[in-house]
Amino acid sequence: MGYAAWLQTQGPSWILGPQGKALARTTGAAYDAQRDRILQAVLARFPTAGQLDTSGQLQIAPSDALDEIGADRQLPRGPGESDAAYAARLQAAWDIWPFAGSHYGVLRALKGAGYVGAITVQDNGRWGQLTGSAGTIADLTLGSLMTCKDRTNNPPGWTFDPRTYFYSRMGLVFAATAANLESVSGQAILNALVNEWRPAGTAFVGTWVILAGNVLGWPLARALGGGENLGGDSVRFIPGDGSAPFVMGP
Does residue 120 form part of some domain? yes
d(CA 108, CA 194): 11
Q: What percent of the chain has pLDDT over 70?
A: 74
pLDDT at residue 46, rounded to an integer = 67
d(CA 207, CA 223): 20
pLDDT tens readout for residues 157-187? 566 766 666 668 889 989 889 999 999 999 9
d(CA 150, CA 29): 73
Q: Per DSSP, what are the bridge partners of residue 71?
A: none
Most confident segment among 9-23, 39-53, 90-104, 215-229 = 90-104
Report whether 217 contacts 225 (CB < 8 A): no
Instruction: Give the mean pLDDT of 188-208.
Output: 90
Q: Is the pLDDT of residue 216 over 80?
A: no
Confidence band of 244 (pLDDT split at 50, 70, 90): very high
pLDDT tens readout for residues 61-120? 677 778 888 888 888 888 888 888 888 888 888 888 888 888 899 999 999 889 999 999
The beta-carbon contacts of 233-238 under 8 Å, at least 24 apart in sequence, are 234/210, 235/208, 235/209, 235/210, 235/211, 236/177, 236/181, 236/182, 236/208, 236/209, 236/211, 237/206, 237/207, 237/208, 237/209, 238/181, 238/187, 238/190, 238/191, 238/206, 238/207, 238/209
d(CA 123, CA 157): 8
d(CA 195, CA 106): 9
Q: Higher pLDDT residue, 187 or 201? A: 187
Report whether 100 contacts 119 (CB < 8 A): no
Range of the domain at 227: 94-248
Does residue 215 form part of some domain? yes
Report whether 210 contacts 228 (CB < 8 A): no
Instruction: Give the mean pLDDT of 26-35.
Output: 82
pLDDT at residue 78, rounded to an integer = 83
pLDDT at residue 54, rounded to an integer = 59
Does residue 63 form part of some domain? no
What one-character-per-residue DSSP string does 105-159 give?
A: HHHHHHHHTT-TT-EEEETTSEEEEE--SSSSGGGEEEEE-TTS--SSSS-SS--
pLDDT at residue 50, rounded to an integer = 52
Alpha helices (runs of H) in the chain, residue ranges in sequence order = 3-6, 18-43, 63-72, 83-91, 93-96, 103-112, 184-197
Does residue 74 form part of some domain? no
The distance in angstroms from the start CA to the end CA of the chain is: 70
Q: Higher pLDDT residue, 35 or 109? A: 109
Does residue 60 form part of some domain? no
Does residue 59 form part of some domain? no
Does residue 119 form part of some domain? yes
Does residue 127 form part of some domain? yes
pTM: 0.69
The number of folded domains in the chain is 1
